[in-house]
């Protein structure tokens, strides 16, 4: 599933081809992609005629920000919100390009291009909404702070209140938003913390080190264009590069890059977690 670095990379790659274009129409070859307004007509009514002003990210969600309608400039702007789930992908198709077989949503633009959202496993969703509706979207409203918005004091306080294992806490999007299995494993290794350690048992200095590790690992992953394990590609069809920098994720049975001891894997919160039993006691 694309995590924060992958969605951030996608948002940055889409922006040059989308910002300033006006939406001329919307089609949903697979209408099950629609959430919120669950019909093509309802989705298109919100989106059509608006100009794209920005492409942004919140946690693992991608937002296409839209201007007010030209005939009502004092009215509300709007948003297209995409949850990529496991295999959601975007690309910008040029005029007259064939529609991809797995296309689920087509957003036709004023320069004769089309924003295509495709999704092999069909778990991804798209919704059109107004900003004031975000508070009523339970998933969005429950999201915790972005990693760079969380202070060491707030992170420490959040962990001190929890008896869950630290790996499970990092995967909890209500605690800190955008981290998935890859970046939880890499951050815990960088901070020297065993994934099964109860949150309350992590020393204050280690909690501070963990937040710094999360921020550093995510920044490195964004700089590398995210991580491609199987399906993830940028809108240009390019694989991410951070998988070449993994220290532990997916490397059970290999030597630890720090001490040479064999990396092992266990299940934490239903997810495979790889760690070094010497460096992460």
Where b means 16+ CB within 10 Å and e means fewer, 27-63 reads: ebbeeebbbbbeebeebbebbbbbbbeebbbbbbbbb
Question: For 124-199, where are the E strands, in sequence order?
Answer: 125-129
Element housing 11 (H / E) = helix 4-18
Rounded to whole angstroms, the Cα distance separating 114 from 123 reads: 21
Q: Rounded to whole angstroms, how far apart are CA atoms 157 and 263?
A: 31
Q: Which of 2, 147, 195, 235 is catalytic?
A: 2
- In a 13 Å sphere around the CA of 269, the CA atoms on its Cβ side amount to 19
Q: Which of 21, 50, 57, 60 is catalytic?
A: 60
Q: Cβ contacts of residue 220 below 8 Å, gap of 6+?
A: 242, 245
Tokens in use for 69? 């309608």
Backbone phi and psi for residue 36, each to the nearest 5 degrees, phi listed first: 70, -120
Whether the Cβ atoms of residue 125 and residue 85 lie closer than 8 Å to each other: yes
Residues with Cβ within 8 Å of 149's Cβ and at least 6 positions away in sequence, in order, are none
Query: Annotated catalytic, 60?
Result: yes
Which one, of 87, 86, 91, lies nearest residue 107 by Cα? 91
Q: How many CB atoms lie within 10 A of CB 76?
A: 13
Is residue 146 among the annotated active site residues?
Answer: no
Q: Taking a C-beta distance cutoff of 8 angstroms, is the pair 222, 214 a contact? A: no
Question: Catalytic one among 3, 6, 8, 186?
Answer: 3
Active site residue 271: yes
H/E run at residue 12: helix 4-18
Burial tier of 270 (Cβ tally within 10 Å: 0-12, 13-18, 19+): exposed
Tell me which of 40, 58, 220, 271 is the catalytic residue.
271
Give the active site residues: 2-3, 60, 271
């Amino acid at each position: 599933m694309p995590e924060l670095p992958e969605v951030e990379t996608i948002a940055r790659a889409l922006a040059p081809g989308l910002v300033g274009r006006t939406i001329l129409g919307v089609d949903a070859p697979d209408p099950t992609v629609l959430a919120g307004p669950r019909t093509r007509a309802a989705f298109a009514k919100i989106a059509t005629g608006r100009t794209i002003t920005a492409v942004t990210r919140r946690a693992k969600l991608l937002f296409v920000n839209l201007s007010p309608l030209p005939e009502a400039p004092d009215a509300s702007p709007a948003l297209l919100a995409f949850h990529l789930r496991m295999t959601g992908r975007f690309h910008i198709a040029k005029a007259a390009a064939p529609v991809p077989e797995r296309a689920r949503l087509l957003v036709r633009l004023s320069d004769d291009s089309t924003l295509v959202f495709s999704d092999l496993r069909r778990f991804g969703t798209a919704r059109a909404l107004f900003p004031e509706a975000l508070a009523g979207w339970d998933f969005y409203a429950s999201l915790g702070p972005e990693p760079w918005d969380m202070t060491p004091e707030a992170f420490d306080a959040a962990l001190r209140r929890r008896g869950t294992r630290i790996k499970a806490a990092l995967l909890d999007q209500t605690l800190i938003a955008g981290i998935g299995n890859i970046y939880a494993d890499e951050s815990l290794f960088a901070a020297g913390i065993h994934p099964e350690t109860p949150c309350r048992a992590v020393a204050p200095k280690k909690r501070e080190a963990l937040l710094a590790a999360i921020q550093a690992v995510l920044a490195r992953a964004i700089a590398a264009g995210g991580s491609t394990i199987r399906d993830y590609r940028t809108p240009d069809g390019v694989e991410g590069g951070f998988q070449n920098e993994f220290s532990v994720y997916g490397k059970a049975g290999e030597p630890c890059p720090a001490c040479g001891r064999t990396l092992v894997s266990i299940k934490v919160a239903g997810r495979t977690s790889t760690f070094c039993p010497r460096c992460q006691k």
